[in-house]
Structure 1
C-alpha cells in the first residue's frame, strides 16, 4: 500500500510539472508575440520619423546650397565688374600715354630740326673761329719775333726772367702778408693766452726743491763714526755692499755723506744708518737685516705715496703698478727738480687749462700726472722716456687719449687729441720757470753756443748773441745784404732751424736787428 501511495504522489508531481511547463510556455510565447508586435510598431514609427527628418534636412541643405551659390555668384559678379573697370581704366591711361608720347615725339622732331640748324650755324662759326685763331697765331709769332729783335731777348729767356720777377714779388707779398697775419693774431690772441696762463700759474703754489746726488746724515758725536766704520772698515763695506751707496766719512764734524745718483738707494741707506745708530748694534749681519727691512719699508712707503697723490688729485682707477711708479717719482729728479712735485704741478696746470678751454679736466689732470712715468724705469731702457711711459700706460689699461698725451709731450709722436698740447704746455710752464731746474755749466754753455752758431750759419748775419739764459737770441744782420722784408723771413727761418735741431725747455725768442748807418767825414 505504501508503494502505491508513493508512486501515485510521484506521478502526480510529474504530471503537475509537465502541466506547468506547457502552460508557462504558452504564456511566455503569448507575451513574446505581444512584445514583437510592439517592437514592429515602434520600428515603423522610427522609420517614418527618420524619413520625415531626412526630407527636412535635405530641404534645408538644398536651401543652404542655393543661398551659398547665390552669394558666390554675387561676389563673382562684383569681382568681374571690378576687374572690367580696372581694365577700362588701364586702357584709358594707355591711350593718354600714347597721346602724350605722340605729342612729345612731334615736339622732339621739331627740336631736332632746330638743333640741326643750330649745329650747322655752329659749324660755320667754328670754321670762322679756326681761321681767326690761325691769323692770331701768325700775328703773335710775328710780334714775338719783332720783340725779340728789339729787346735782344729770346722768348724763353723773357719767360724765365718774368717768372723769377713774379716769384720774388709773390714771396715778398706772402712774407708781408704772413707777418701782418702773425701781428694781428698776436694782438688778439696773446692777451687772452697770457691771461689764461697767468691765472693758471697763480692758482698753483707748489714749492720746488732742488735735488742733489748727496745726502747728509747727521750724528750726535764723532764717536759714532768709528762704530759705523767698524773693525778694518768691515761695517762700512757691508753697508755699501747692501745699499749700493758710497758712504763718505771724512773730517766733517757730526756728519756722514751718502753719495749715489739713485735717490731711493740713498733713502734706504739713510734710514738704515738711522736705525743702526739708534739700535746700537752695528755689525755686518745686523746691517744686512736692517737694510732688508728698510727696503720693504721704503717699498710700502712708495705705494702709500702713490695712493696719497692720486687721492689728492681726485684721480681714480689707476693700475697698482702705475701707483708704484708714481710713488717712486718722489725719489727721482729731473734737472734738479723733484719729479713727483713736477708731475703734480703739471697735473694741476693741465686740469685748470682744460677747464678754461672747456675740455675734460679730469682726463687732462690724469695725463699730466702720468706724463713722466717713463723717467723711473727699474731697468735702464734705450727708449725715450715719453715712448716708454706711453707703452707702460697702454700695458696697464690707460685709454688712447692718455697714451697719446704721454707719448707726444716731447713731439716723439703726432698729437691726435686736444689734451696732448695742453699737457705739453703745462710741462713747459712747470719746467721753464726761473729757479725750478738746474743745468750743468757745460750743457748750459753748449746750448748757448749752439744757438749762436745756428744764427751765424745764415747768409747776411754779422753777429749773434744768446741772452737771458738762452731764452732770447738777438741776431745782427748786414743792412746791405738783408733788407727789412728779408729780415722777417730770416727770423722765421732761424726759428724753424732751432725747433728742428735743438732740444730746450720753454721757448726761445729770435730778434733780428738791422740798422743803416750813414757816416760822413768833414775835412
Structure 2
C-alpha cells in the first residue's frame, strides 16, 4: 500500500515538473516566433517605405517631364499665335495705309471736281448773259439751251470714258482670270486615271487555263454568266483577259478569278460562292470609298445616299476618264478658283464633287446625268449653289454664284486637259450599251 502511494506521488510530481518544463519551452518558442514576426514586419515596413519613396521620386520625375513638355507646347503655341498676330497687324497696317492713300486720292479728286464745277458754272453764267443780250432770250430759255448743249457734250464724254474703262476692264479681267486659272492648276497636282476595256490576269502556268475552261467548258460558262463579263483565252502565254465596258463588273470578275486561281479549286459551286462573298465586300467598299472621298475634301456632312453614289463613281467612266478621278479633280480645282475669287472654298468643293453625281445612276434611270443629279440633290436637301452648279456646268442655266462659276471653269479645265478624254472610246461604249439594252429586251435573255 505504501509502495503504491509512493509511486503515485512520484508520478504526480513528474507530471507537474513535465508540465512546468513544457510550458517554459512553449513560452520560449513563442517569444522566438514573436521576435521573428517583428523582424519580418520591420523588413516589410522598410520595403514599403522604400517603394513609396521610389514611387514618389518616379511620380515627381514624370510630373516634371510632363510639366516641361506642356510648358514647351504652350510656349510654342504662344509663339505661333504671336507670329500670326504680327502678320495680321502688318496686314491691318497695310490696309490702313492703302485706305488712307485711297481717301487722300478721293479727296484730291473731289476738290478738283469742285474747282472744275465752279469754273464751268462761271463760264455758263457768262454764256447765258451773252445769249440774253444778243438773242433777246429770257434767262430761263438761255439756261435750257445751255443745259441741252452740256447734256449732249456730257453724254459723248461719258460714252467715251465708259468705252475706255470697259476695254481696260476687259483687258485686266482677262489677265486676272488667266492668273487665277494658272494659279489653281499649278497648285493642284492630281492623279491621272484613264480606264481601259480589259484586264489581263497572269496565270501560274498553261494548265491553269484548262482549269478555268473546265470540263466541257462548264467553268468558263459559269464565270461569264455569273460575272457578266467576257473571258478571253488567247495565245498570250500564262495570261487570260477579262473584257467588259462595265468597270464594276470587270473589277469584281478580276478579283474572283484571281482568288480562284490562288485557291486552286475552280468549279461552278465554288465560283458562285466566291462571287457572292466578293460582291458583298465590293458593295461595302463603295460606301467606304465615298466616306474617304468627302473626308479628303474636308466636307463634313452629306446624305448617306449621296456618299454611296460618290463611291460608285469609282466604277464609272466618261470619255475614257474615270468619273471619280474627274470629280476629285473638278472639286479641288473649283475650291482653289473660288478661294482666289473670294468665294466659299468648301461649298465650291462640295458642288464640284456632286456636279456629275447623276452619272452614278445613268445606267439605272432614264434621262441625262444633269437632270438625274439635280433632282436627286434637290430631294436630299443640297444647297442652291450645288443645284445651280449641276445645271450650269452643261449650260442648262447661268451660273449665279462664284462657287457655280468655279465648278464650270474647273469642269472645262479637267475635260480639256490633253489626254484626259477619249471620244472614240466613249462612242464605242455608248454603242455597246445600246446593243446590250436591245439584247436584254428580248424574251429569254438573262444577261447580255
TM-score tier, shorter chain, comes to: 0.5 to 0.7
Conservation of the 8 A alpha-carbon contact between 1:346 and 1:427:
yes
Shift in Å, 1:332: 1.4
Runs of 5+ in structure 1 lacking a partner?
A: 1-175, 445-523
Q: What is the aligned counterpart of 1:257 among 204, 217, 241?
A: 241
- Count of residues in correspondence between the two structures: 269
Query: How far apart, in 2, do the equivalents of 1:178 and 1:438 lie?
Result: 45
- Label 1:288 to 1:180 Cα distance change in 2 as closer, same or farther (>3 A): farther
1:298 aligns with 2:294: no
TM-score under structure 2 normalisation?
A: 0.57
Conservation of the 8 A alpha-carbon contact between 2:319 and 2:425:
no
Q: Hey, what does 2:32 align to over in structure 1?
A: none
Q: What is the aligned counterpart of 1:432 among 403, 407, 416?
A: 416
1:322 aligns with 2:311: no
CA-to-aligned-CA distance 1:334-383 (integer Å, 9 cap, x gap): 11111111111111111111111111111111000111111111744332
Q: Hey, what does 2:264 align to over in structure 1?
A: 280
TM-score under structure 1 normalisation?
A: 0.49
Larger helix percent: 2
Q: Hey, what does 1:393 align to over in structure 2?
A: 377
1:369 aligns with 2:353: yes
- Label 1:180 to 1:236 Cα distance change in 2 as closer, same or farther (>3 A): farther
Higher-Rg structure is 1
Which runs of structure 2 are paired with 1:209-228 in the superposition (5 Å)?
Answer: 209-228=193-212
Conservation of the 8 A alpha-carbon contact between 1:331 and 1:338:
yes
Structure 1 SS opposite 2:358: helix
Which runs of structure 2 are paired with 1:419-498 in the superposition (5 Å)?
Answer: 419-440=403-424
- Label 1:331 to 1:443 Cα distance change in 2 as closer, same or farther (>3 A): closer
CA-to-aligned-CA distance 1:217-268 (integer Å, 9 cap, x gap): 1212121111001011110110111111111111111211111111000001
Q: Hey, what does 1:208 align to over in structure 2?
A: 192
Provide the aligned C-alpha RMSD in A: 2.4
Runs of 5+ in structure 2 lacking a partner?
A: 1-159, 429-448
Query: How far apart, in 1, do the equivalents of 2:161 and 2:414 lie?
Result: 35
1:198 aligns with 2:182: yes
Query: How far apart, in 2, do the equivalents of 1:178 and 1:265 lie?
Result: 61
More relative contact order in 1 or in 2 (CA 8 Å, sep 6+)?
A: 2
Q: What is the aligned counterpart of 1:189 among 154, 162, 173?
A: 173
Query: How far apart, in 2, do the equivalents of 1:311 and 1:185 lie?
Result: 40
Q: What is the aligned counterpart of 1:243 among 216, 223, 227?
A: 227
Q: What is the aligned counterpart of 1:234 among 212, 218, 225?
A: 218
1:411 aligns with 2:395: yes
1:341 aligns with 2:318: no
Shift in Å, 1:274: 1.0
Conservation of the 8 A alpha-carbon contact between 1:247 and 1:256:
yes
Where does structure 1 differ by over 6 angstroms across 4 or more consecutive aligned residues? 176-182, 441-444
CA-to-aligned-CA distance 1:418-442 (integer Å, 9 cap, x gap): 3222111110011111121122199
Shift in Å, 1:209: 2.3
- Label 1:276 to 1:441 Cα distance change in 2 as closer, same or farther (>3 A): closer
- Label 1:177 to 1:276 Cα distance change in 2 as closer, same or farther (>3 A): farther
Query: How far apart, in 2, do the equivalents of 1:414 and 1:293 lie?
Result: 47
Query: How far apart, in 1, do the equivalents of 2:200 and 2:267 lie?
Result: 22
- Label 1:194 to 1:417 Cα distance change in 2 as closer, same or farther (>3 A): closer
Q: Hey, what does 2:442 align to over in structure 1?
A: none
Conservation of the 8 A alpha-carbon contact between 1:345 and 1:430:
yes
